[in-house]
């Protein structure tokens, strides 16, 4: 099956710093989403981005489908950004669309 | 709030028992997905239903089953529970199929299952 790797696995930032999280996938995909799992376990949609670039406030994401990677940018980080960031890809397999999550990047923003 | 609801929030049970987790999708969403998140396996796709029919299967054990009812809510049944089934179980829904080609998924708050 498709492999989805995220880097770095862990990241500690000072409040106000910027960061880039990466998601590499081993095969072509139909869809890609970024999620933030907060410390209470809730999975929050950040971006639905199978290709191109999107921005939402301090966050932006870029997916280059032809090169099989996606980037999530966090600018001016805040303590509320702490948690785990997942990318999830969807690929047609045997006539079905199957979703595979990456292993996540655990982000800690310290004041 | 994603609009997806899951009950119960927490469930504690014993090995060998059977439990049912419930999910109500966002209003109008036809697709429901179930995921398991455990410490050692990460987030794993279990199964998808679309308008009452099974659409895709992931890493779902034979002891687990699911269904989607005519009102579109879904239930995940876990039987002969083992210690390793302790995990966070998420449900997600998607608008795909309502004339919407893409498959953005919206997650519920999860059910935390503890098997003792």
SS3 letters for B44-56? EEEEEEECCEEEE
For residue A38, the tally of other CB atoms under 10 A from its CB is 13
The partner residue sitting opposite A31, judged by closest CB among B35, B43, B103, is: B103
- pLDDT 10s digits, B53-98: 998 888 899 999 999 999 999 999 999 999 999 999 999 998 876 5
3-state secondary structure at position B6: strand
A1 lies within 8 A of chain B by CB: no
Q: What is the pLDDT of residue B98?
A: 57
Closest residue in B to A103 (Cα) is B42
Cα–Cα distances in Å, from B73 out to B31, B32, B109?
10, 8, 15
**Which residues in chain A have their CB less than 8 angstroms from residue B2's CB?**
44-45
Q: What is the pLDDT of residue A94?
A: 66
A48 lies within 8 A of chain B by CB: yes
- pLDDT 10s digits, B6-37: 999 999 999 999 999 999 999 989 999 999 99
Q: What is the pLDDT of residue A34?
A: 96
Is residue B105 within 8 Å of residue B33, measured between CB atoms? yes
Measured between CA atoms, how close is B17 to chain A, in angstroms?
Answer: 25
B57 lies within 8 A of chain A by CB: yes
């Amino acid at each position: 099956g498709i492999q989805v790797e995220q880097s770095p696995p862990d990241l500690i930032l000072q409040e106000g710093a910027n960061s880039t999280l990466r998601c590499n996938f081993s095969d072509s995909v139909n869809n890609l989403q970024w999620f933030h799992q907060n410390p209470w376990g809730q999975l929050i949609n950040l971006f639905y981005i199978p290709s191109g670039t999107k921005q939402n406030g301090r966050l932006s994401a870029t997916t280059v489908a032809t090169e099989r990677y996606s980037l999530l940018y966090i600018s001016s980080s805040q303590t509320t950004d702490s948690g785990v960031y997942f990318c999830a890809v969807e690929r047609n397999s045997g006539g079905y669309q199957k979703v595979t999550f990456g292993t996540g990047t655990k982000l800690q923003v310290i004041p | 709030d994603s609009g997806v609801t899951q009950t119960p929030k927490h469930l504690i049970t014993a090995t060998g028992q059977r439990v049912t987790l419930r999910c109500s999708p966002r209003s109008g969403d036809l697709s429901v997905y179930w995921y398991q998140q455990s410490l050692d396996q990460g987030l794993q796709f279990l199964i998808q239903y679309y308008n009452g029919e099974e659409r895709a299967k992931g890493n779902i054990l034979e002891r687990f089953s699911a269904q989607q009812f005519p009102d579109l809510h879904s239930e995940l049944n876990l039987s002969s529970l083992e210690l390793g089934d302790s995990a966070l179980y998420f449900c997600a829904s998607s608008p795909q199929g309502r004339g919407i080609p893409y498959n953005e998924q919206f997650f519920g708050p999860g059910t935390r299952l503890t098997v003792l």
